[in-house]
Amino acid sequence: MRFTVEAVCIAAEKGVAKIEVAEIVLRAGHGVEGDAHAGPWHRQVSLLAGEAIDTMRAKGLALAPGAFGENIVTRGVDWTQAHAGEAIVIGEAQLEITQIGKECHDRCAIYAAVGDCIMPRQGIFARVLKGGRIHAQDSGDYRLG
């Protein structure tokens, strides 16, 4: 299933919204260079569909890419259908989906504003198998099982 990268984001500390940048660099076994969530664990990269963000914007929120802590915003793929173990390829980078959703430790500002947060249901997490550079408008491929 083909999709487009809409934005790439990074944050130097945990617990804050990520900031949109021109490119991110993925490193195998590590994640996004310079991002607080990088390291030798299963949630090295987070992805969220732009369509899911649009549903929150429709509730009256002004949301920039990275507002939910996502590293990669995509367009054209429904991540709610994804499963752990499936592959994502963006340019030279290769990822393996490791987790679907994540409960927030505390209710975030978005939840407080509208009574809902989409990351626990619609965000996905992956580990980096092969590194590469990713930019907005890059094409990606999601491969089932």
Mean pLDDT of all residues in 37-64: 94
Dist. CA 68–CA 119, nearest whole Å: 6
pLDDT(21) > 90: yes
Mean pLDDT of all residues in 21-50: 97
Question: Is the distance from CB of 36 to CB of 9 less than 8 angstroms?
Answer: no
pLDDT at residue 121, rounded to an integer: 86
Question: Is the distance from CB of 128 to CB of 31 less than 8 angstroms?
Answer: yes
Number of structural domains in the chain: 1
Q: Which two tokens stand for residue 107?
A: 């209710």
Mean pLDDT of the chain: 91
**Residue 88 is which amino acid?**
I
**Domain span holding position 47:** 2-143
Q: Write the CATH number for 116.
A: 2.40.33.20
Q: Which two tokens stand for residue 114?
A: 């509208």
The pTM (predicted TM-score) of the whole model is 0.93
